[in-house]
Amino acid sequence: MRSRWLAAVAAFAWIVLVAVPVPAADAAPTARRQVGATDGLWYWQLPDTPNGLVPVQAWSGAGSAPDGAIYVAGMDHVTNAALYRLGPEGGSAGAPGLTLAYVGDARAASQAVGNLRPGEGIEKFHTHPTWLDGRVYLPNLNHSTLDAGYLEKRGFHWYAYDESDRRLLDLSADRPGGAAVAHGGLVSIAVDRGRGVIYGAMVPTGDIYAYDVRRNTTRRLGRPDYRRPYVYAGRAMWTDARGRLYFTAGAAQPWNGAPYDPAIFDHVHAYDPAAGRFVELTDWRLHEQRAIDTAQCFPVAGECYLADGVGRIYRFLERDPETGRPGWQELGKIWDRPADKVEATWVLQVNRARTKAYLMNKSGAVVEFDLGQGRVTRRANLFRLEPRFANMWLYGYDAWDAHGRFYFAAFGKPAAPTRVSLVAIDPERFFRAAARR
């Protein structure tokens, strides 16, 4: 299945690169805001890049910056990956920003510093667009399958969009071999703002790396004793105020390396930078050895809300009121059927008040989860309300603007690739309109 999927994407990408005319190098492609069929929903179709990339996947979802900007990545899973920015310009409490703009792509950034080898592609950005000190970071991932094929490819680069220079930069050009590491790519990252460090989990080994932003150096920290060479690493990690990193691994689907030994994979792991060692948090349990794939943290409150790929929701507390130490709670699940019958749930958005979480699955269901009461309310079906997105994959977490709208990416399946759309929803307006239809 995986090989057919990659072959289909590769064929589409090749056709696109041959057939699409390349705009002038100094062009800045943009897309205008479009209004959905349902009040409270807007979308933007990601434009082609100046060097010919047609963005048909968006495994990074969307992320937000302190100034209210929303960032989303688009890629073709073979040749290139690009970054786009939706600024607050032209937006208001009544509608989001007017224009989504291309701000750079991996191939162009690497070519600008002589760091792209002949025939080399940049498969994708998989990590959540992550802001730190005026830059949005996106390392690449050039081998997605859990096998030794990653050893035949160059390791990942650290890419960053500099908000002051307004350029996407390849920060790894001056590293040995022009890459942050010799082989492998990152599937998830998390920031320790106090230390100026970005942690990353590697595919396919699950190794944890630490990137020192100021020194531009990447160091392998190692990994827990997984007792197997390759693992499905969780698509979301998180840190606490002390800089401790929390992460997970494991999955249920055979193509993700299952089965996974419960003794190793049914709980959260951590890396303590002060002690320089990994820690097993065996009381912080996961169901069915399913890693955390989406997360949203509230550093001031000392809380994170997290979910696995089938909609089971957890809460992390920096200080549990009962113990005074970091704590872990399972809050509930949004589906009342066996996990193997649940469509993948890759959208998690938690409101600013931390009272409600919104989750969406591959069938288009939009569910509201009451974080205090554990109550589940099915609010709408995106595909019925907005047929243009029917049967697309939906992906994204922790992306909100200043007016209470959340953002995610919608894109076609590999057998029927379609241009990526960045989608914005004002939940109160959208659910009121959905109830009337």
Predicted local confidence at residue 421, as pLDDT? 98
Q: Are 382 and 364 contacting, i.e. CB atoms less than 8 angstroms apart?
A: yes
Question: pLDDT class for 339, splitting at 50, 70, 90?
Answer: low
What CATH architecture applies to the domain 2-436? 7 Propeller (2.130)
**List of residues 6+ apart from 168 with CB closer than 8 A:** 83, 103, 104, 105, 106, 108, 109, 159, 160, 161, 162
pLDDT at 314 over 50: yes
pLDDT tens digits for range 156-175: 999 999 999 999 999 999 99
Predicted local confidence at residue 27, as pLDDT? 65
**List of residues 6+ apart from 417 with CB closer than 8 A:** 8, 9, 12, 56, 57, 411
Question: pLDDT class for 341, splitting at 50, 70, 90?
Answer: confident
pLDDT tens digits for range 204-258: 999 999 999 999 999 999 999 999 999 999 999 999 999 999 999 999 888 899 9
Domain residue extents for the chain: 2-436
